[in-house]
């Protein structure tokens, strides 16, 4: 493999044949064969892992650009939106370009090839060819009908301000629709009553949560990082479901930085919950069960809090909607 094997923030997916795919991410730049730990390169290399071997499929083996979050559609097409990358002019920043990878080729579907774009929201609930989310990194889904969804993230609102978002978007038939949430950054959540859907419910603005789709096509969201009143980041452990046009707060706490309840190893229980976290790794199996591994969890000492440091975990969890 190339020297860019070592990386973080890469997008990965498993196709309908069980092959593992890896796209982009960030890696330290190199001076010859020596890594430069003060410089990060953005990557756009595409790799496939099958039969115990990696294959470099497409993209450059030098720093260029990287997407961030993506999702596999029901027909095996992979969708990728925005991320922290280099735009077509070589300028770094958050992008709002939407891409599809199908039959061995990338297609630029929508959005700008220049970064740092504000969102154009239009009228909530109404599709328009001029609507487009602002540049960001965020949680994404593809539903059973092939519609692409994204929620929140760290990026730009309708006023060009950068922060955490809680807007929900759908891309269908070549157009974006702003579905729910605010068009402004750093908005609080409306939790309502746990287990009860309501048109007024909406998750708190956040970034780097886990997203998945269940066997019935409902969208799910867990955890992430959100700004608190002091302007620093807190950690969430709340579970949300979006179904029939409404959000439901399903599990976890509406408060920040909650400790986990681990219970008995290997034994499910209604009281079990992972510690609040973000930047975790997740996947779903053929039965629609969510698997969750690791992530960044809250600090416990004043020294860690002063440095903005958290713990990196190696705990594995499953969740069956």
Domain ranges of the chain: 198-321
**How far is 63 from 189, CA to CA, in rounded Å?**
38
Question: Which residue stretches of 65-175 are H helix?
Answer: none
CB contact at 8 A, 162 and 136: no
Token pair belonging to 274: 């992972």
Please give the pLDDT value at position 2: 40
- Say whether pLDDT at 200 is over 70: yes
- Say whether pLDDT at 213 is over 50: yes
CB contact at 8 A, 240 and 220: yes
**Range 178-193 average pLDDT:** 96
**Cα dist from 274 to 83, 218, 228, 251, 297, whole Å:** 27, 21, 20, 11, 10
Question: 11 has which bridge partners?
Answer: 23
pTM of the model: 0.86
> What is the side-by-side order of every strand in the sheet holding 246-251?
210-213, 219-227, 233-243, 246-251
pLDDT tens digits along 60-97: 654 444 445 677 777 788 898 988 888 899 888 899 99
**Range 133-146 average pLDDT:** 89
Please give the pLDDT value at position 278: 87
> What is the side-by-side order of every strand in the sheet holding 78-86?
69-72, 78-86, 92-102, 105-110
């Amino acid at each position: 493999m190339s020297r860019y094997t070592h990386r973080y923030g890469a997008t990965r997916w498993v196709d309908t044949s069980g092959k593992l795919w890896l796209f982009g991410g960030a890696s330290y730049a190199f001076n010859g064969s020596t890594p430069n730990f003060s410089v990060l390169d953005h990557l756009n290399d595409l790799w496939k892992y099958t039969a115990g071997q990696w294959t470099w499929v497409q993209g450059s083996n030098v720093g260029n650009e990287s997407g961030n979050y993506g999702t596999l559609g029901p027909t095996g097409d992979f969708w990728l939106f925005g991320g922290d990358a280099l735009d077509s002019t070589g300028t770094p920043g958050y992008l709002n370009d939407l891409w599809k990878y199908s039959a061995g080729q990338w297609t630029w579907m929508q959005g700008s090839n220049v970064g740092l774009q504000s969102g154009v929201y239009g009228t909530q609930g109404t599709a328009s060819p001029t609507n487009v989310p602002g540049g960001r990194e965020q949680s994404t889904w593809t539903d059973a009908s092939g519609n692409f969804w994204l929620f929140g993230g760290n990026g730009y609102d309708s006023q060009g301000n950068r922060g955490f978002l809680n807007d929900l978007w759908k891309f269908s038939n070549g157009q974006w629709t702003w579905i729910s949430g605010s068009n402004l950054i750093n908005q609080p959540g409306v939790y309502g009553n746990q287990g009860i859907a309501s048109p007024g419910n909406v998750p708190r603005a956040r970034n780097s949560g886990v997203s998945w789709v269940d066997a019935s096509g409902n969208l799910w969201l867990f955890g992430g990082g959100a700004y608190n009143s002091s302007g620093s980041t807190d950690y969430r452990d709340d579970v949300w479901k979006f179904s029939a046009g409404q959000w439901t707060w399903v599990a976890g706490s509406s408060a920040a930085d909650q400790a986990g309840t681990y219970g008995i190893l290997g034994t499910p229980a209604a009281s079990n919950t992972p510690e609040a976290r973000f930047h975790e790794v997740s996947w779903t199996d053929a039965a629609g069960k969510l698997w969750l591994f690791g992530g960044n969890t809250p600090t416990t000492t004043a020294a860690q809090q002063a440095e903005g440091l958290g713990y990196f975990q190696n705990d594995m969890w499953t969740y069956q909607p």
